[in-house]
Structure 1
Amino acid sequence: MQLTRGALTGLRIIDLTTVIMGPFATATLADLGADVIKVENLDGDMSRDIGARRHEGMSALTLNLQRNKRSIALDLASEDGRQVLDDLIRDADVLVTNLRPRSRENLGVTYERLAQINPGLILCTAQAYGSETAYRDYPAYDDIVQAASGAAKLSELIDGAPRYAPYVIADKVVGLYIVIAVLAAAVEKKVTGLGQAVDVPMVDSMIAFNLVEHFGGHTFAPAEGDFGWARVLTPERVPHQTSDGWICIMPYSSENWNDFFTAAGRADMVNNPRYATVDDRHRHMGELLSAIREVAPERTTTDWLTLCEAHGIPASDLLDLANAHDDPYVRDQELITKHEHPTEGEYYATRTPFTMSRTPISLTRHAPLLGADTTAVLTELGYPEEHIHALADAGIVKTTSAEPASA
């Protein structure tokens, strides 16, 4: 692997985030070529010690969420540590943080103060609720945001029981909103030369995300129909069991449904006026999916896939994510690739899942050990070697003398 010029080459981002949401956003920006400097406390991002790992501080989460970044470890509770952060900000384009407003203010991380240091700085803040609201300092993690945004309650419309999604949907969706917001502000800065404050509240983001399809008839005042997207709120919307496994079969057009029911021997369902339009089918989706469920066990998964392909009917078997790296499509797309980390050995790396013809997305730097780049970054800022040693000796910064993390 070699350094390649990415679409965001030249954009410097200070990453003052932890766990998943912020690191996911900045990993995406780093994949696109931004120079992302991850600022960690002296103990490191807590996600370094969550879940599987071969060595302390280098968890599976770390290997992929901190890829293509550099790490500097600072004691931000100290005046000298905050001075180092100010010096980082002076030459940066963007600072991203998921600290709550009170914590930001205690560290001096406010737009008003930082804009005096660097008028071109884009400060992107992301926490549970809007920074100017009464809820600004409420603690919240993914499950709380799913609850507060209405996401957890949507399943109640299906079977009467609210529940959380089996993945950190809010962290990842809001992470992508952070990317969008940062890029929009960076494009505007190209025109004006000025930075700005950008706030990406998690609850706000997820409410907007959830209402895209579910606002439904409640879009109108007064309401002109039910709340919710009927097709996805039916209890029958589940994978179907075949004679040897599971499958998703999803006819969509009238032709799809007629072809499926003809092939399945359900002549009574062909050209049935009850399902004539898309709206009709959405309203009666439970009946249609029940009919698929009844016939699905009559064939193997492969047989159904062959039949559906022949008629242009959307269908798929179910990917086992635990073995995704062995899937032919995943391999061909290089969505997951095997690499050799200088301290952690062989591992599988994920990537931002789109391609660009002139500025390819690539892994150019393995996830760093905590503080692996402290010395290099401070040297770039003009700190003399003796000053760096003094900061390390005083416990203001942490440096790691280990094999470089360059891929």
Structure 2
Amino acid sequence: MSGPLEGLRVLDLSSVVVGPVCTGVLAEQGAEVIKLESPEGDLLRKLGGKGRSPGMAGKFLNFNRGKRSLCLDLKHPRAKAVLARVAARCDILVTNIRPEAQRRLGVDAATVSEALPRLIHCSIVGFRGDGPYAGKPAYDTVIQGVSGIAGCFEASTGEPRYVPMLVADHVCGLIAAQQIGFALYRREKTGRGESIEVPMFENMAAFVLQEHLGAMSFRPALGPPGDARVLSPEARPLRTRDGFIAVSANTDAQAHGFFRAIGRPELIADPRFATVAARTAHTKEYFALRATALLGRDSAEWLAILGAEDVPAMPYNTIESLLTDPHLRATGLVREEEHPSEGPTIAIGAPNILSGGMAPRLPPAQRLGQAGRDVLAEAGLSAAEIDELARDGALRQPEEQE
């Protein structure tokens, strides 16, 4: 089977996480992704932690499966012309290079669209270009701080914190892939490409405000912002006798089932807990009751009891236990794979299914510059030209990275 984007070619000028998340989704759906890297390589090759060989950190492997690595030194006078020839064969260009640097390299939307009117140019930026923060550098934690995500922790616990994963990068990378899908659909109708700007600040601020503006949506405000249920310090996995489980009981049927499960059926008629509105108004009391309700039995017992009442409840997983979760194993999201240079690895599969077919299993992430010669030959350069670029230092190859 082949993915819905088979036949499309992506020039990936992105690095670290947000851009590679986007291009990883496009690769999963069948697009050919050419990952352009500098001689230093994507920062994640080193920033991503330990690896068996230089530049092949585990985190890099997971974000860059299915991509062909081309290593060009764009400071070299001949490299820009080579890049233009590669771009001319592409349908989509994705970058998280800051706008001023894009202009210097000649890969900004205006320049590219003039030369290649069918190409879709997607620029992932920290801040939209029409606001006072335009052009400022941004990483995930910067965006979490400025967008109010860290402020949600302060509202919950009294101390601002970051989500301990790159949530802004992941979310905005997925949004970028979504926007590219929209642009491809329009290109089918108009024949023209699109320039897309995906600002991380605006997207994550929108998420926070959608979640927590609440009573302040009205004028005059009906109350302070913040969803008390989400911000409650007790909004966490519930402790059992031997660990934790994840439980949610939102509808009346679920909450009443929970009360029966814990042996407190009288709470069904309690005016504080009888209805959705009542439980929302008494979130603190409801969550405090739940926090200690499961201490008398083991997790497996509670999962069976709550399941019988049709209360949403699942095992609590750590990062390590995700690797052995029976459902993830059965669906193929987590599997063992032999990497050609790194040996045995754990690979992460595609989470979504399309009835019309998915791209075949993605090949492993490549060493820096591994596909360079092939990519340039496909762009029409002769073997002699490629050899000359390599001798001049414009093209870097894997053996030079040892």
Q: TM-score range by the shorter chain?
A: over 0.9
**Structural mapping, 1:81-100, within 5 Å:** 81-100=79-98
Counterpart Cα distance in 1 of 2:381 and 2:338: 32
CA-CA distance at 1:151 after TM superposition: 0.7
Out of 78, 100, 103, which is 1:102 matched to? 100
2:221 matches 1:223? yes
Q: CA deviation at 1:220?
A: 1.9
Q: Unaligned stretches of 5+ in structure 1?
A: 403-407
What secondary structure sits across from 1:136 in the alignment? coil
Contact 2:71 2:368 in 1 (8 A): yes
Partner Cα separation in structure 1 for residue 257 and residue 178 of structure 2:
41
Q: Does the 8 Å CA contact 2:267/2:274 hold for their aligned counterparts?
A: no
Match of 2:63 in 1: 65
Runs of 4+ in 1 over 4 A off after TM superposition: none
3-state SS of paired residue (1:182) = helix
Residue 10 of structure 1 is matched in structure 2 by 7
Write the deviation string for residues 71-105 of structure 1: whole angstroms up to 9, x where unpaired.
10001122311111111111211110001111111
Distance of 1:281 and 1:32 partners within structure 2: 43
Report the residue type matching 2:22 in the other structure: A
Q: 1:197: Cα distance to partner?
A: 1.0
Corresponding residue for residue 180 of structure 1:
178
- Deviations 1:111-164, CA, capped at 9 Å, x for gaps: 221122211111111121113333222111111100111111011211221111
Alignment equivalent of 2:33, drawn from 16, 32, 36: 36
Which residue is 1:117 aligned to? 115
With over 3 angstroms needed to count, the CA separation of the structure-2 counterparts of 1:361 and 1:288, relative to structure 1, is farther
* In 2: Cα distance, 1:223 partner to 1:44 partner: 50
- Is residue 372 of structure 1 aligned with residue 370 of structure 2? yes
Equivalent of 2:158, from 160, 166, 182? Answer: 160
Alignment pair present for 1:385 and 2:383: yes
**d(CA) in 1 for partners of 2:96 and 2:175?**
13
Post-superposition offset of 1:255: 2.5
Structure 2 unaligned blocks of 5 or more: none
Give the letter aligned to residue 203 of structure 1: F
The residue identity in structure 1 corresponding to 2:77 is E
1:351 Cα deviation after fit: 2.5
Deviations for 1:260-305, whole angstroms, at most 9, x for unmatched residues?
2233232442221222332321232221121122221111111111
1:201 Cα deviation after fit: 0.6
Partner residue, 1:46: 43
Would the aligned equivalents of 2:261 and 2:309 in 1 still touch at CA under 8 Å? no
Partner of 1:353: 351
Q: Does the Cα contact within 8 Å between 1:100 and 1:136 map onto a contact in 2? A: no
Deviation at 1:45? 0.6
Is 1:26 the equivalent of 2:2? no
Pairwise CA distance, 1:313: 0.9
Q: 2:362 and 2:240 mapped to 1: Cα distance?
A: 44
C-alpha displacement at 1:333, in angstroms? 0.9
Task: Calculate the TM-score normalised by the size of structure 1.
Answer: 0.94
- Equivalent residue of 2:295, what SS? helix
Distance 1:205 1:240, change over 3 A: same
8 Å Cα contact 1:235/1:286 also seen in 2: no
Q: Tell me the distance in 2 between the aligned counterparts of 1:112 and 1:262.
A: 63
Given residue 114 of structure 2, which amino acid in structure 1 is its aligned partner? Q
Distance 1:112 1:265, change over 3 A: closer
| Structure-1 residue corresponding to 2:296 | 298
Provide the residue aligned with 1:405 in structure 2.
none
Normalising to structure 2: TM-score of the pair? 0.95
> 2:242 matched to which residue of 1?
244
Structure 2 SS opposite 1:70? strand
1:204 corresponds in structure 2 to 202
> What is the Cα deviation at residue 323 of structure 1?
3.0
Equivalence for 2:275: 277
1:67, 1:363 within 8 Å by CA — same for their partners in 2?
A: no
Contact 1:95 1:123 in 2 (8 A): yes
Q: In 2, Cα distance between the equivalents of 1:303 and 1:32?
A: 41
Asked if the contact 2:261–2:306 (Cα under 8 Å) also holds between the matched residues in 1, the reply is no
Letter in 2 for 1:37: I
Aligned-pair RMSD on alpha carbons? 1.6
Per-residue deviation, 1:224: 2.6
The DSSP-based 3-state class of the residue aligned with 2:23 is helix
What's the secondary structure of 1:73's corresponding residue?
strand
How far apart, in 2, do the equivalents of 1:45 and 1:73 lie? 10
Deviation per CA, 1:369-400: give whole Å up to 9, x if none: 11111110110111010000000000001123
Q: CA deviation at 1:401?
A: 6.1
Question: What amino acid maps onto 1:58 in structure 2?
Answer: M
Aligned residues: 399
